[in-house]
């Protein structure tokens, strides 16, 4: 993994340029104000036509147990992603990361997909849409399957909006079970180059004010994901 500390102040515009070149920022810890650039030798991506939905996840998505909202509460979502969790004692989301991505949100290029239940934010994710690529940054859950439902809705939106790349940075067992895979740095750069080229996608293929049902999300994934529906 290539790692380099920036010698200049990172602005939202510099951050977007870095994404277009295959770089993303991280911090050593939430308490460390410094950032460094990362370019993994092996990059994790979700092929948008290979997303896997288990039968139980499809049932949960279709049930609309969670109300899925987009860009409803960015600050609460990134705060939850940065909070310690039973399987994650600390994160790399520091104060500078929060400020930078809030600025990108204000510019309309950072987005959240959020799961709400009973008036509470119980899961979600955030990332950056640039060209025909979506760069997933982090996700969290406070109830079972909430982050999986948010990810399913994200993939459905990206497919419906004609995106061509979903970058998830590093591969985990959890992400691999949903269809993520690793590609070499060279192959990733080719995918990224294609995603930075026309035609432009539409993140808002579904209206901003509308609540997308689980059934609509699964329909947008069909037949690719549903043909790959598997047992738990």
pLDDT tens track for 112-158: 999 999 999 999 999 999 999 999 999 999 999 999 999 999 999 99
| Amino acid 7: pLDDT | 46
Alpha carbons 72 and 63: distance in angstroms, whole number:
21
Alpha carbons 103 and 1: distance in angstroms, whole number:
27
Burial 164-185 (b: 16+ CB within 10 A, else e): bbbbbbebeeebeebbbeebee
**Helix residue ranges, H only, the chain:** 12-21, 55-63, 74-82, 95-106, 146-160, 173-177, 185-195, 214-221, 224-227
| Amino acid 29: pLDDT | 76
What pTM, to 2 d.p., does this model score? Answer: 0.91
Q: Angle at Cα 188 formed by Cα 183 and Cα 194, nearest 5°?
A: 135
Residue 179 φ/ψ region, left for φ over 0, alpha for ψ in the -120 to 50 degree band, beta for the rest = left
What the block records as the tokens of 108 is: 């309309």
| Amino acid 213: pLDDT | 95
The string of pLDDT tens digits covering residues 169-185 is 999 999 999 999 999 99
Integer-rounded Cα Rg, in Å, for the chain is 17
What the block records as the tokens of 117 is: 């239940």
User: Which residues of the chain, if any, have pLDDT below 50?
Assistant: 7, 227, 231
> Which residues are paired to 36 by β-bridges?
26
What the block records as the tokens of 105 is: 């949100």
Domains in the chain: ranges and CATH: 2-227 (3.40.630.70)
Q: Tell me which residue of 134, 125, 103 sits closest to 203, measured CA to CA.
A: 134
| Amino acid 6: pLDDT | 55
Q: Is the peptide bond before 33 cis (omega within 30 degrees of 0)?
A: no
| Amino acid 25: pLDDT | 93
Alpha carbons 110 and 35: distance in angstroms, whole number:
19
162 neighbors 197 (Cβ within 8 angstroms): no
Question: Residue 49 in 3-state DSSP?
Answer: coil
Q: Is the peptide bond before 86 cis (omega within 30 degrees of 0)?
A: no
CA dihedral 63, 77, 10, 181 (to 10 degrees): -30
| Amino acid 223: pLDDT | 64
């Amino acid at each position: 993994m290539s790692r380099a500390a920036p010698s200049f102040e990172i602005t939202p515009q510099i951050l977007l340029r870095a994404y277009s070149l295959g770089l993303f920022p991280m911090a050593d810890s939430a308490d460390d104000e410094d950032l460094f650039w990362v370019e993994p030798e092996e990059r994790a991506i979700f092929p948008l036509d290979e997303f896997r939905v288990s039968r139980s996840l499809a049932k949960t998505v279709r049930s609309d147990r969670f109300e899925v909202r987009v860009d409803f509460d960015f600050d609460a979502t990134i705060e939850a992603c940065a909070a310690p969790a039973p399987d994650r004692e600390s994160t790399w989301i520091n104060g500078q990361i929060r400020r930078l991505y809030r600025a990108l949100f204000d510019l309309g290029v950072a987005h959240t997909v959020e799961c709400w239940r009973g008036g509470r934010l119980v899961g979600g994710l955030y990332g950056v849409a640039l060209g025909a690529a979506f760069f997933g940054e982090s996700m969290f859950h406070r109830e079972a399957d909430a982050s999986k439902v948010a990810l399913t809705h994200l993939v459905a939106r990206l497919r419906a909006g004609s995106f061509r790349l979903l970058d998830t940075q590093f591969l985990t067992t959890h992400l691999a079970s949903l269809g993520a895979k690793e590609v070499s740095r060279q192959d990733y750069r080719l995918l990224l180059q294609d995603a930075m080229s026309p035609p432009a996608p539409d993140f808002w293929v579904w209206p901003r004010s509308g609540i997308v049902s689980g059934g609509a999300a699964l329909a947008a994934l069909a037949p690719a994901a549903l043909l790959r529906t598997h047992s738990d």
